[in-house]
Amino acid sequence: PNSTDPSKSEQQNIACLSVSPSEENLVCSTDVSQLFTITLSSADLGKGDQAHFETLSQAFHSNQVTGLDVCIRKPLVATCSLDRSIRIWNFETCCLELYKEFAEEAYSIALNPSGLYILVGFSDKLRLMNLLIDDIRTFKEFTIRGCRECSFSNGGHLFAAVHGNIIQVYSTTTFENV
């Protein structure tokens, strides 16, 4: 199936199929751990037609999750993965709020207590990003390569980033290494 999630636009191979007890729906799992469904009555296809599967719930990470953080003031959880994506989940509604794919793998993630910013440690840089309504955008980069752990202070005015055995603390407002 081809996913309706832009982060999963590549072809996926079907790993398993199952028909509902009422024989109305077909559910399939793919080789990258995604679930899709199709209503069999709508799948009445002629020769050469293609069936279009819909995502069963939401798209999940298809590789190892390397970072996870929970927001203090909003019902948000942020995850990053070796599948090169960042996902922001709402744990009250159990929905995927935001996702974005990047060119490199993300190793660590931290949510600002306000829920408006995230800090992500990539293989090449540490990036401070805005969480917008429909996008995640970088607005400040730090030359910290391979940051495997990062975290905001309880107030969100400072953040710490780990590089090897060094912990660097920065101001969130001035971006200076304090």
* Under 8 Å between Cβ of 32 and 126: no
User: Tokens 């101001």 correspond to what residue?
Assistant: 171
Tens of pLDDT, residue by residue, the chain (178 residues): 433 344 445 677 777 777 777 777 777 667 766 666 778 776 555 556 677 777 655 567 666 788 899 999 999 999 988 888 898 988 888 788 998 999 999 999 999 999 999 999 998 899 999 999 999 999 999 999 889 999 999 999 999 999 889 999 999 999 999 9
Residue 35: both structure tokens together: 């679930």
Q: How are the residues of the chain apportioned to helix, strand and coil, as percentages rounded to the nearest 5?
A: 5, 50, 50
- Residue 8 pLDDT: 47
- Residue 33 pLDDT: 61
